[in-house]
Every structure is written in structure tokens, then in C-alpha cells.
Structure 1
Amino acid sequence: MRDRIAQGVHSGALTEGEAHRLYQRERALSWQLASMERDGGLSHDERRRVRAQMEALHAEIDHRLNNHRHAHVPMPGLQRRQEMVRQRIEDGVASGSITPREAERLEQREHDVLRLQARAQRDGVVTQEERAMLRDQVALLNDEVDRMISNHRRVYYRR
């Protein structure tokens, strides 16, 4: 993964900021794997979770590398919102308010949005309808992140 990120920076397909974020995710995944192995090996669920996270990171690297090979239609507002959602997921996992299983589900939804975005950009023109659909999908994902973060803090009152 590190080599592909470095090649992406060298070719200009990745910015330094994108590469930095990808390196951070790869490093965090490596630390998580090492930590799990130190605990006496990986259980089936841990192995499945790590594999899913690795596949998600590979998919994101592929998306970022391939996204620049097609006609790129700038959508800075949408990209900022996607980055904000990505950061909220990472912060939620780090704080423990989002479980690893919830994070997998959110990352899968995030990759679904990235695939929709790549499909919309493929012909070099993103219509207003496609932009609206992408904005709606990111908003739904953001709402889902809100629910996942707050579901651990619900207070139930008895009368």
C-alpha cells in the first residue's frame, strides 16, 4: 500500500495531503494488527474485521489513483463534506463512540458514495441531478455517523 501511495504522489495522482491521510490510515491499521497479534493471535472476527479494513483502504487508494485518470470534474464542496465525514468516523472510532463493526458499515457506505461519484464523473460531466444525488448520499451518510456517535449516549428516563 505504501508503494502505491508513493507512486501516486510521484505521478501527481495524489496530493501530499491525500497521501498523508492514506499513510495515517495504513499506519493505524498496521498498529491495530500488531496489537491484535500481541494479544495472542487473531480471532476469526478480528481477522475478518482487519481484512475488511484493508480492503476498504485498498479501495480508497484505487479510487484516489483512478479518479485522476478519468475526466476530473471538480466538486470541492462535496469533497470537503466527504473528508469531514471520513474524519468524523475516524474520530468516533478513536473515542470509542463508534464500534469497529459500525465503522465497517460506515466505511462501506462511504465507498458506495465514492463509487457513485466515480460513475458520475466518468463521462466528464456531472449533471445537477448527479450532484444533488451525491450531496444527498453524503448527507445521509453524515446522518448515519451522527446516529452511530450518539447511540451510546442515550439517556432513558423512568417516571
Structure 2
Amino acid sequence: MSSTQHKALIGKGEIGSSQVLLAKPQTFVNLSGESVGPLATYYRIPLHQILVIYDDMDLEFARMRLLPKGGHGGHNGMRSVIQHLKGSREFPRLKIGIGRPPGKMEAASFVLRKFGKDEREEMDITLARGVDVVRQVILNGLEKACSTCNEPKNSKSKSSELATM
């Protein structure tokens, strides 16, 4: 991440022979679209080539789900992205599960809290797998990446397939 543009930290590189733009919005999460929309317009990125990665309370902790399109699912950041992509939901997304708040803890406090040591270790493994999923999307296409990524969390065969890429 070497520069700032459209309210995001930007990094450029290559995966295989594909040019890749990595953007990390520097807005509040619920305003992420203020970065994504203008970047997509400026770089003329087709919607099917945008991959939004975000946390999802509806997924079990450290589980990933790769989808070719969809709604916001109550996630305010995704609501903003959809709004700033002219209402389109036709872009892929990688959801990373953080689970539900325990007891009566408020959602905002839950998503902003620091992970415990064991959670951090498990999430680090998941995030490394997420990097492999992104590589697979770029190198082998979304459909193949979906079939590899969207397996039960404890499945060894597909996880090892990602590791050998």
C-alpha cells in the first residue's frame, strides 16, 4: 500500500499476468462505498472484476464464503458499496465470518473488539487462506474459487488444494 487515492490506501501489483489494484478504504466502514465507487469509475473497473472482502456476523467465526453477487445482508459497509456502485449488486464478495455477539453485547462493540489470543491465531490462518482465495479468483476464475472456498470449515481436502496453488 504505497499511496492514497479516493479515501483509500492503494497498492498496485500483479498476480500471474493480471494487474491488481488493492484498496483499503480509510473511511468509517459504513462509508466504504465512498472509496469503492470512485475507484471503480476512475480505473474503469468492470463490476465483475471488483472483489469486496468484509466481515460477516452471520458466518461462523473464521469461516469464509465467496459469492459472485448478492445483497448487503444488513452490513452497512456493503450497503454503502452497493449505493456507490449505482445500486448494482453484481460484484463478487468474500465474506469472513466473525460470528455473533455473545449474550447481550451490542453488535458495534462486538465488531470493534480485539480478538483474544486463540481467536487471533485462528483468524490469521483464515486471512492467509483468504489471500489464497483471492489469488485463485484471479488465476483460475470465480467459479472454481467458489467451489474451493465454500466448503465446510474443517474440510481438509479443499483447504490443502488451496495451499498447493
TM (norm. structure 1) is 0.35
Mark the structure with the bigger radius of gyration. 1
- The structure carrying a bigger strand percent of its residues is 2
Q: Which has the higher helix share?
A: 1
